[in-house]
Structure 1
């Protein structure tokens, strides 16, 4: 009995000590450049201890555009910061990148296979219409980082390992969804209408757009003729183009469209045959709104689950913003009006 009591006392003492000894892990100090660098993931990047190679201004060395020095790049916390090196002269094979003040740097080789940016299969008039960039610097930010801004510096190198000048850049990290400023975006939206830069007329997003071609029936077949009868030869019918801005910064969007064209070879004069293709483009990514700059940033990255190849970042400028509608302009001047559902 005494032995059992002794064992019970030891067990109670052990658990009591274990509970008292348990301490909360201190938060990660991402303001430390070396700590932050170790938490970043750079696509195709290998971390190397030591000082980053820099150029010597040798003849024939690649030269980066100095106008981009101290440029600000916007990123959403927990997602990607994307930087496009801009050459003034020369060619490059890869780049070196480091967080300013860190004890290591990343080396990336662009000659490795890349799938290119995320591109919708067919969407042409929605938030899915923009294409991604190739040969970009892709930095995945840590999920739990309490970041505001941090500095990086990078240089490119060519096939002979000759290094360019160094460009410094500031990464401004936005909170997902943009906090209180982004509350007005939260909810379900649909594309209402659109127009190209400089165009006075709007086009409704939902509905059919038909192209007509003058054709004549000759020997039982349809052939082109300027004085022929107009036939519907191409029909693009957008069925839906809508999505949801979630309060946690997740954005989902889907565009459904049917495209038909007249098969003039297989068609008879009285028996028209159309080839029909159905498109269903969708993505899941992140979003953030900066009220001060009137910018809506969209990150097409399948909610951070992609490997870095299949993503895209686009910053839209907000032209008008009400509780029920928002008018945005893409980098190429293309305007889209969204309506809240």
Structure 2
């Protein structure tokens, strides 16, 4: 690992194919664009080891919606979670499919023209990217349409209906290609896009929640890869918000997703521009009696280069514990408010207070 003043030099990815003819990563590192060519057919692993997913979270700081669709080999899943951060409360409905093995045809890129659909008696889900007809721009712009109908969502026969449009995709995203030690055909290719502008509605039981572009933002977690069948613990945090001066601000932070010696996935975003920083530490408090993680007490986050320092006050812990034969997962996805300071590449400090985001600790064997 190359270091300058104890801070690593991160490898920036170059354009080209993600995998070589052996199914191994051609290059490890990060980018702010999806410049590596991912193709499922280039993977040299069994179908049941391949993982592909799209996850969206949209919020106006009072109401949030999470939409997820994944093919993790043995299981395909679609799900929707509605959050009320004022009460606070949440409700999830999901549906599982056995052994999809690629039949959903997940796209090779996150922001190209495409349509991804899931249809069952419980959930109908559609993620569609179309070309904008913006006549004032010479650049091709993408609009994302997210739709979901979840039947009997509240247990009283009422369906949840989600209809959201995402625009103003930022210039930069967090993109990383990560290997796994001792597993040459295993890799994780990931794009996280923060601060997309959201507009639309959520309808449930004669009540409509509005997402207005002035106060509603979205993040996409787009993941493709082959994961080794062993217990993995990862940490992930995300924020998309507006500052007091109305600029969009956010970050992507995390670790535990394979060997990150070539680069971390930690980035700060201001008005669509990425600012890379090194390592982050999630400091989850412990319960004094049990010595277990106390997810609903205040967390602390520190970076080794002092670029991001903050406190996180939890509101909701979306807890899931899954044990389905070959798949085991314990997830604590905690939503709350971040307060702290971020330092841009030019040394400018950005202060933020009580901005809604989330942080999670997930233990998987899948």
Name the TM-score, length of structure 1 as normaliser: 0.22
Normalized per residue, which structure has more helix?
1
Normalized per residue, which structure has more strand?
2
Higher RCO (CA < 8 A, seq sep 6+): 1
Q: Which has the larger radius of gyration?
A: 1
